[in-house]
Amino acid sequence: MKVAVIGARGRMGATVCEAVSKAEDMELVAMLDAGDEISVQSLAGAEVAVEFTLPSASLANTLALLEAGANVVVGTTGWDEFSLQAAATKAKDVGKSVLIAPNFGLSAVLLMSFARQAARYFESAEIIEFHHPHKVDAPSGTALTTAREIAAARAAAGLGEGPDATESDPLGARGAVVEGVHVHAIRARGLNAHEEVIFGNPGEQLVIRQDSFDRTSFMPGVLLAVRNVGKRPGLTYGLGALLDLD
Ligand SMILES: NC(=O)c1ccc[n+]([C@@H]2O[C@H](COP(=O)([O-])OP(=O)(O)OC[C@H]3O[C@@H](n4cnc5c(N)ncnc54)[C@H](O)[C@@H]3O)[C@@H](O)[C@H]2O)c1
């Protein structure tokens, strides 16, 4: 399978180039970055293009890659509804596939799936996310998504708010509240990206935890997407669709 990488000089792009080069069933045929034109020629026969650039560049790149005849795997974050729709329409128009996943980490995707399954069985559910101190936003996008999915599963099961007698919390020690689910963010040197979901019932606790130690953690998910994107015409959102989870 011939693969192109867009954003190849970036941190994620360079890691993808290395992973594709090492994969026995793949050949890295094009490495493009800012300033390089996306065209049939520059893609050099790539069947799949992997895009890890900037939120401001990702939609235009994706449309150009589809137009040039490649199936596209996108890891760049920040996609809104409008952009997703535009990519879906273009993929349909040109008869190609695009897979967009805000998180290619298998452990994170599995954690969200397991948390969705467990949510309806427990009175209490809280999330702790742990990241390196360079991260500028809190809580993390993955923690937000996890909280929203737990909240939706609780609502569907008719569960109300979790038990909590706190009356006074002037310093915000109970964390952010996302649709009724408390989310706590830790920022500390030595960490990378980690998340813990704590479920509680009288006399029992379930803790689901995932740890992403470095960028290589995303590569099995990216390679899975590269191998499978062409089998799914149009737009696929999220890696879960390839993992047969739900
Ligand atoms: N989906 C996931 O699992 C996942 C994991 C990690 C990071 N990300 C996201 O991936 C993206 C890239 O992260 P990074 O750490 O590699 O960033 P980075 O800044 O290291 O790399 C971005 C690269 O894109 C290039 N670029 C900028 N504009 C371009 C354009 N118009 N065309 C082609 N290349 C262009 C830059 O020159 C740079 O080399 C971010 O949006 C980040 O949030 C997603």
Nearest atom in ligand 1 to 102's CA = 1
43 CA to centre of ligand 1 in angstroms: 18
144 CA to centre of ligand 1 in angstroms: 21
Q: How big is the chain, counted in residues?
A: 246
- Cα separation, 3 vs 18, in Å, equals 12
Helix/strand/coil percent split, the chain, to 5: 40, 25, 35
What pLDDT was estimated at residue 218? 97
DSSP structure string for 149-200: HHHHHHHHTT--PPP------TT-TT-EEETTEEEEEEE-TT--EEEEEEEE
What pLDDT was estimated at residue 136? 86
Candidates 54, 72, 73, 213: which one to mutate for ligand 1, based on the most atoms within 8 Å of Cβ? 54
Q: What does the pLDDT look like over 71-130, one tens digit per residue?
A: 999 999 889 999 999 999 999 999 999 999 999 999 999 999 999 999 999 999 999 999
- Cα separation, 12 vs 51, in Å, equals 9
Fold type of domain 106-213: Dihydrodipicolinate Reductase; domain 2 (3.30.360)
Nearest atom in ligand 1 to 105's CA = 3
62 CA to centre of ligand 1 in angstroms: 13
CATH of domain 2-100+216-243: 3.40.50.720
End-to-end CA distance of the chain: 28
Q: What does the pLDDT look like over 179-216, one tens digit per residue?
A: 999 999 999 999 999 999 999 999 999 999 999 999 99
Domain positions in the chain are: 2-100+216-243, 106-213
Candidates 52, 58, 65: which one to mutate for ligand 1, based on the most atoms within 8 Å of Cβ? 52
Residues framing ligand 1 (Cβ under 6 A): 6-7, 9-13, 33-34, 52-55, 57, 61, 75-77, 101-105, 218
Type and span of the H or E element at 128: strand 124-131
Average pLDDT, the chain: 96
What pLDDT was estimated at residue 144? 94
One fold for 2-100+216-243 and 106-213? no
> In 3-state terms, what secondary structure has residue 220?
helix
Q: Which residues contact 204 (CB under 8 A, 6 or more apart)?
A: none
> b/e for 194-217, b at 16 or more Cβ within 10 A?
bbbbbbbeeeeeeebebbbeebeb
What pLDDT was estimated at residue 19? 98
> In 3-state terms, what secondary structure has residue 208?
strand
